[in-house]
Homo-oligomer: A and B are copies of this chain.
Amino acid sequence: MSTFSRLGGRAADQLRPVRITRNFTIHAEGSVLIEFGSTRVLCTASVEEKVPPHKRGSGEGWVTAEYGMLPRATHTRGDREAARGKQSGRTQEIQRLIGRSLRAVFDLKKLGERTITLDCDVLQADGGTRTAAITGAFVAAQDAVNKLVRDGKLAASPITGHVAAVSVGIVEGTELLDLEYVEDVACDTDMNVVMTGAGHYVEVQGTAEGVAFTRKEMDELLRLAEKGIAELVAMQEKALQA
């Protein structure tokens, strides 16, 4: 069945080279440049000693995310959302996904009444920006939390485990791990999977762009995603120990 050949001879179940650079910028409490091949996303974690209205007085904190793409992160220039005056539906979907994914590994009670905002800005896009963003945002959030602990603002970490994400999809009948742009454009099915370090699902978002997919295909996609996320979690751990 597996007849699609990938750029650079990459195997169907192989991630692109991943690079995680901590402290990429100097002001944020956590600042990580994450690269999945040519996709490059700057993820910063900002700590603010306040919470949004729905959490005020609750004793709980909040974790949220915003996502953006530089106008020329892509092959052809896209509109600047700030100039157009609104964020696209796609942008909102992605930033809501990142926020939910990170909250899945946070005990908001232990965070106290403060907010961690994860800004994920795509400097260069080549497919998989939202999954790179989640994977990098976790490292930035971890750095920000470690600083809160070091500074004595938190007695213990509110983070309950790792979270990472990867895309999988079906191109010309072949299930592939970690789609790059040319594969994403050509795929029939595109699925983003977010899992914890313990191997449980946080989000599964599968979409048939062309023909609908079968249960058997979904099982194979989930297998690939599980493999990829296990590798990404290992890379997060390694980066955090550096």
Write the residues of chain A forming the contact surface with B, with a CB cutoff of 8 angstroms: 25-28, 31, 38, 40, 42, 44, 46, 48, 66, 68, 70-77, 80-83, 85-87, 89-93, 95-96, 100, 104, 117, 119, 121, 123-125, 191, 195-196, 198, 200-208, 211-215, 218, 222
Contacts of A66 in B (CB 8 A): 71, 80, 83
The 9 closest A-B pairs by CB, nearest first: A200-B212, A89-B92, A81-B82, A44-B72, A46-B77, A82-B82, A204-B206, A28-B72, A25-B124
Closest Cβ neighbor of A223 among chain B residues: B215
When all copies of this chain in the complex are counted, the total is 6
Closest Cβ neighbor of A121 among chain B residues: B70
Closest beta carbon of chain B to A110's beta carbon, Å:
16
Whether A93 contacts B89 by the Cβ 8 Å rule is yes
Whether A72 contacts B25 by the Cβ 8 Å rule is yes
Q: Which of B119, B123, B200, B214 contacts A200 (CB 8 A)?
A: B214
Contacts of A81 in B (CB 8 A): 82
